[in-house]
Amino acid sequence: MQATNEPEGVRQAVMAVPKVVIRQLVLLVPLLANLALLAGWAGVGLTDTFVMAGLGVVAVATLLALVGGRAAPLWLLTATLMLDLVGIGLMRLTPDGNGFGPLAVLPAMWLAADHRLRGVGLAFLGTATFVVAPTLVYYGPEPAWWSRGLVLSILAVLCAFIVAGTGQVWVRQNSELEEQGTRLARALDDVLANRALNDAIVGTVDVGLVALDRDGTYQSINPRQAAFMALAFPAGHAGRAGQLGDVFAADRVTRLTTEEMPTSRALLGEEFDDHRIWIGAEPSKQLALSVSARSVRDGSGERDGAVLVYKDITPLMAALKVKDDFVASVSHELRTPLTSIMGFLDLVLDDEEGVDPGVRRKLEVAKRNSERLLDLVSDLLLTAQVDDGYVALDVEPTDLSTIVRESLAHNAPRAEAQGLGLRHSVQPGLVVHGDPVRLRQIVDNLLTNAVKYTPSGGSVAVELEGGDEDLWLKVSDTGIGIAPEDLGRLFMRFFRSQEAEDRAIQGIGLGLAITRSIVEAHGGTILVESEPDRGSTFIVRLPLDGPRSPGTSGGHHWAADAG
């Protein structure tokens, strides 16, 4: 360990020596070496007058350097360098003392280092005045000495200029580095302040936050999410996406698989909103969470992880359950008297001779409104059933071609009364495993909507065709269409577009929500394409072999999480 510290100690000791002293030492070493060579080869010793005078001047410069030390002012530094040039010029007058001349380069460079471009001028002036000129005066105007003087002056000025230029560049770069350092320091302070603010916000928000890296490792979670994980993973969590625990689907019973976990889906790049799950093993302590996910991308646009938000919607789900229970209860209570009313109306209307024609018309109006009210009650009951996470299906082989033709026949009079063209292309004999009553609801809802929302003079088209594994139902119209901002809410319960409200078109916004629930309960999908004032097209895909769910038992099927 001591050997390792020795170079550092030497460096610190060297740094403690004043710059002016180091310069004098650097000059003295070659000067004394040159003097020793002259003494050995040319017999020039310390008794030479010019050597003694030159050494005396350099000694004075060295003494000034030692006195000035680290706090030496710039004029003192300049003075020592000029004295060095005087000393070199005197020793150059010694016989065979021309070798002292190149030593003038050192003071010249140091003058440039201290004064930059002005130092180049001082270097030329000092070299020419104190080194070159005395030689020319002493030895006379011999061409050899003029040549040597010119070369020496050029060499000193060139070296000084290089040092000055390098110093100027160094100063500029050092200034830029200091400015960059200042900016980086400010930026770092801003980042740390923003991080502290973000940490405070993340720690206090009432939602759970999870950040995943591209490998699925948890990068960070906030305290709210830690509380959710403690309930969902009582045995602990490994900090990676897809870990299994007490996490359930919307039915609160079916455990999610690794592939179904929100973190696994987000890691694959899927982005979603309001994916509902339940956490907790005990039903009385379960929490309902709404999960949203977004991908995180790096500077090149590559996926670099994901961020998930978990929101506790347990109070909302409880409120919705109370509301739906109330609607279901009221609807159920309404169904019995409505059925009785419709039954008695049928009995009265069956009496062809005992009912006055005017009274019959009024009774028929009452019957039509009773039927409409009964349909509404049935829709409300089915909606409550869907919100519980199930749609009851009585699955059996069903000829969908016949259902479509019957629905067309049922809607034909209304379409004709509105002045609509009703076209169809139905492939015969298409049999699907499904609930015939629910499948009839799909067709009736789509076809009734198409007729209802198409103004007089328009047209409605129905197509049904089958493939090897699926069949496709397409219902198109030339009606009022759907605004782009409404497409995302089209299948929400009780949603009504502003256009439908403005035109006072009857409905409460349950038909499409029910339709989608039934389609998904059968394992199918429904899509919509629409343009305002150009019409809409609804496309339904249904698998021929029916719902693919382990809940099927005989002819009765319960489809989980149909909503």
Q: Model confidence over 414-435: pLDDT tens digits? A: 888 889 998 999 999 899 999 8
Helices 436-452 and 511-521: angle between axes, nearest 10 degrees: 140
**Amino acid identity of 498?**
Q
Higher-pLDDT residue of 353 and 430 is 430
Question: What secondary structure letter does DSSP report for 43?
Answer: -
pLDDT number for residue 143? 77
For the chain, the average pLDDT equals: 80
**Cβ proximity of 394 and 556 under 8 Å:** yes
Distance CA 274, CA 488 (A): 13
Task: Please state the φ and ψ torsions of residue 514, each to the nearest 5 degrees.
Answer: -65, -40
pLDDT number for residue 555? 36
User: Hunting for tokens 């409605």 — which residue is that?
Assistant: 460
Is the domain spanning 390-560 CATH 3.30.565.10? The answer is yes
Higher-pLDDT residue of 476 and 324 is 476
User: Hunting for tokens 């067709």 — which residue is that?
Assistant: 443
Question: What is the pTM for the complete model shown?
Answer: 0.47
> How far are the Cα atoms of 122, 126, 518 from residue 105, in angstroms, in the given order?
12, 11, 97
Span 187-214, average pLDDT = 78
Question: What secondary structure letter does DSSP report for 128?
Answer: I
Under CATH, domain 208-312 is a member of which superfamily? PAS domain (3.30.450.20)
Distance CA 417, CA 51 (A): 130
pLDDT number for residue 25? 85
Residue 562 has pLDDT above 50, yes or no: no
Beta bridge partners, 501, equal none
Question: What secondary structure letter does DSSP report for 216?
Answer: S
Distance CA 547, CA 438 (A): 13
Distance CA 28, CA 62 (A): 9
Span 289-305, average pLDDT = 87
Tens of pLDDT, residue by residue over 529-557, are: 988 888 899 999 999 887 864 333 333 33
**Cβ proximity of 89 and 134 under 8 Å:** yes
Task: Express as a percent the part of the chain with pLDDT over 70.
Answer: 82
Binned at pLDDT 50, 70 and 90, residue 332 comes out as low
Per DSSP, the residues of 393-427 read EE-EEEEHHHHHHHHHHHHHHHHHHTT-EEEEEE-
Distance CA 369, CA 363 (A): 10
User: Hunting for tokens 């609607």 — which residue is that?
Assistant: 327
